Amino acid sequence: MGFKKFVVNIGFKLLGKGLVSCSKIEEAVKEELKFYEDGFIIELKVLNTDTKVAVKKMGDEFKYLGSKYELVPDLSIIFKSYEGAFLLVLGQIGVYEGYAQHRFIVKGDLIQSMPFIRILYFVEAYLFPKFITKNILKEMPVRSSSKIKAYLRLLF
């Protein structure tokens, strides 16, 4: 397994768990989640590979599906290469910059992708330290919870 593939696999796992964590503690994420119906599945993956992670909306939060799921996602964010995913998971580019640079494609309803992109913005704000977020986020969103709480939810 190549280095970038290894890092992206770990990064996707952390992003998936970060989505679950933020869906439990962040009010803005909970508000964005109202857009989706129960059972809505969102996946992040790298094009033409088995590197992927998915979450499912259950109630008012995300449930982690991991990478070994059989269900067909309602929305897929598909990175064109490991390079694009690598830059995002390491915090070298933000989700808005990755979108602007066409590093990923959206499979599904484009309107349904917008709340998810905003959710990812919050996940980046929680998961990355300030010295990284100041470079990848347009502005630091007002968080309704602490980073420590997000990290604890990420682990347990």
DSSP label at 142?
A: P
| Amino acid identity at 124 | E
> What is the DSSP code string of 21-51?
HHHHH-HHHHHHHTTSPTT-EEEEEETTSS-
pLDDT at 107: 97
Question: Rounded distance, CA 140 to CA 8, Å?
Answer: 24
pLDDT at 85: 97
DSSP label at 70?
A: -
Q: Positive or negative CA dihedral for 21, 24, 29, 33?
A: positive
State pTM to two decimals.
Answer: 0.89
Beta-carbon contacts of residue 26 (< 8 Å; ≥ 6 apart) = 122, 126, 143, 144, 145, 150
pLDDT at 156: 66
pLDDT at 1: 64
Q: May I ask the CATH architecture of the domain 3-155?
A: 2-Layer Sandwich (3.30)
**Full pLDDT tens readout for the chain, 156 residues:** 699 999 999 999 999 999 999 999 999 999 999 999 999 999 999 999 999 999 999 999 999 999 999 999 999 999 999 999 999 999 999 888 998 999 999 999 999 999 999 999 889 888 888 888 878 777 777 776 777 777 777 666
pLDDT at 127: 85
- The closest alpha carbon to 107, from 82, 79, 134, belongs to 79
Beta-carbon contacts of residue 52 (< 8 Å; ≥ 6 apart) = 12, 43, 44, 45, 46, 67
Beta strands 61-66 and 75-79 are unpaired
pLDDT at 87: 95
